[in-house]
Structure 1
Amino acid sequence: KNKVHWLRDANMLPKKIPHAKISVFHYQSQWFGRGSVDERIDNVASKLLHGLDRSRANETKTPIIFIAHCLGGIILEKALLMSRSRQKDFPNVYPWIAGCFFLGTPFHGTSSQSKAMVLASMAEVAGWATPSTLLKVLEKDSEILRSLLTEFSFMARDAQIRLLCFWEENDSDLVNYLIKGITWVKSKERIVDQSSATIESFDSLSLMADHFNLNKYGLGPKDGNYTAVSDELRETAAKADGIIKTRQN
């Protein structure tokens, strides 16, 4: 299947933004440990910050642009809030954040039980929680998601961070995610629709992709979705120094 990795392929993002240092954060299921879903989110967000802060400790400080897909965006929201409130612990992160790109992040949850089940199943594979515990969190405008987004949006506006949300135009094939014994789940559905994947008063763009391919660009540099995302990344990178200076002033 798709063997092109847009973050590593020499003809893709490394060529588009040649001076960028591109890093990928992989979280492991054992990091989540026990406890409630929000406690586990805190744990992984903290791991992200510790790793990023250490990697930048002995380097010339450069602006940071984050890219997150699906539930990774929830982790990123929490991590950025923690980076601001704990600047003494993570001095190399918050002052340098210039942009955040979200690909299909369910900021507002979903009113569809079938969609919530798919997202919950994805989270179970990653080690977040069992589907039953996460379904409550993924309910439309759940308290956890609403509170997190309210605080995050305020911080992003105050810090003048450039946020851009991408949402899927195509339905996803859910055959591999159907739960055994449940026959009413649709075989194709929009997993995270525009209303859930966007944040009021921040920029958003649609991609001609299903949920699972928002971050996969099999046609290489000529892929239309890649062009849309990478052009915005390049523009944000060009403006990043100005964003940082404005905040520091």
Structure 2
Amino acid sequence: MFLWGSRAETQVAATDEYSTRGAYGLKVCHDAEDATVDIIFVHGITGNRETTWTHKASGVFWPRDLLKSDVPKSRILSHGYNADVTHFWAMTSTNRIGNHAMNLANALAQLRDRTETAERPLIFVVHSLGGLVFEDAMISSKNSAEPHIQSILARTIGVCFLATPHCGSQVANWASVLGNLASVVRQTNTDLLAVLKPDSEVLARIQQDFQTMLRIRREGRAGVMDVTCFYEELPVRGVGEIVPKHSAILPSYNSIGIHANHMDMPRFDTPQDAGYQAISAEILRWTRAHARLQSSAPQPAPLQQFGYPAPAPLSSWPSSYGAPQQQQQLPLGWRQDSYPSQSDSVYGGNRVYPPSSRDGQPAPPELYQQQPSSPSSSPYPQQP
């Protein structure tokens, strides 16, 4: 059994401030003061925000006990919801998955608002049908009128799918996968299969919308979301593979096998486990790539921050505008501090407004702050 010392217990207690009680909502597993990324775990049906990710023999809860060492500058969260099959697929709530998805999006947005970390990138690790909860949460984020909900999709940079079925619009394929899950949960419960079958259309709709969104982002019309699909390599005794490889992968995206069955593939007890190394390597790669991208991104000019084009360089203005083509010396007897001036917030420094003449010498034309004669030729955006 994996034993805890008093120091570990103190560290765990320090993360409880924003954790919900019980098994539902967000549990903070690790929260570094200098965190630069949020990593969120989402379990599937019959799962739990802790037991799904906990190795049975050793008791190692790897999001907390292993991952924080490989990605120390992170906040690691595990989301829980009512994943009992009879509730997840209740006859009286045909859109139960949509409720879970909105709860996930809201819980994340509220936590990030409360902790002033809404700009932080997000990475998800999702198991089985928890991947569909994630996908529907992304769709809900895209369609939301609330900016704090929209930010969840906008800040998501990657997702690790662990044995999540990607059956597209083929309802028959969904029925097959859901039947396998029913066999594991309730063995051969025909009543449960009757509940699962009509929901295949709901799942097909979620998949179609999510994959369309991925394609749009990949084509460059929005930020790219990295995706890696992990599939089970071992069968469940007496049932076989729950989500076969061809259903667990997405075309054109990276796919990696984990040498375990459907239930055991999200559980690791050592950093040397090949499955853990594969998942943590993807998370670390995405985190580093995002950090490099942010550090190399040019800072926008003030006007650009509001969607306006940057003003043209002063040297490119026609000389008729009064902009100097090169620095000139003031005529003898001129003193810049003798005349009114106004600060220039765009180019810096001050503009001098001298009189038209002094001691018989005309004022140099380059010292005038003249406005363009034609509005269409102004380098600044015109108001309607």
TM range (shorter): 0.7 to 0.9
- Cα pair distance change 1:104/1:35, threshold 3 Å: same
1:64-213 alignment to 2 at 5 Å? 64-88=122-146, 90-108=149-167, 111=173, 116-120=178-182, 130-137=192-199, 142-157=200-215, 158=217, 159-173=223-237, 187-213=238-264
> How many positions carry a matched residue from both structures?
222
Q: Supply the AA of the counterpart residue of 1:66.
A: F
Query: Residue 80 of structure 2 is aligned with which of 22, 26, 36?
Result: 26
Task: Give the conservation status (yes or no) of the 8 Å contact 1:66–1:99.
Answer: yes
Amino acid at match of 2:72: P
Structure showing the higher helix proportion among its residues: 1
Structure 2: runs of 5+ lacking an equivalent: 1-55, 218-222, 299-304, 308-384
Distance, in Å, in 2 between the alignment partners of 1:6 and 1:57 is 27
- Residues 80 and 94 in structure 1, CA contact (< 8 A), matched pair in contact too: yes
Match of 1:215 among 248, 263, 266: 266
- Contact kept, 8 Å, 2:129 with 2:165, in 1: the verdict is yes
Query: 3-state SS of the aligned residue for 1:23?
Result: strand
Contact 1:57 1:92 in 2 (8 A): no
2:112 aligned with 1:48: no
Structure-2 change in CA distance of 1:112 and 1:202 (3 Å) = closer
**Other-structure match for 2:92:** 35
For the residues of structure 1 that align with 2:145 and 2:254, how far apart are their CA atoms?
Answer: 27
Paired letter, 2:166: F
8 Å CA contact retained: 2:183, 2:239: no
Residue 94 of structure 1: how far off its partner (Å): 1.9
Q: SS state of the match for residue 158, structure 2? A: strand
Task: Give the alignment's Cα RMSD to 1 decimal.
Answer: 3.0
Q: TM-score, normalised by structure 2?
A: 0.52
Identity of aligned residues (%): 29
Task: For residue 112 of structure 1, report the CA deviation from its aligned partner.
Answer: 9.3
Post-superposition offset of 1:132: 2.1
CA distance in 1, matches of 2:196, 2:209: 21
Q: Distance in 1 between matches of 2:235 and 2:112?
A: 39
**Distance in 1 between residues matched to 2:255 and 2:108, nearest whole Å:** 26
TM-score of the aligned structures, taking structure 1 as reference length: 0.78
Structure 1: where are the runs of 5+ without partners? Answer: 174-186
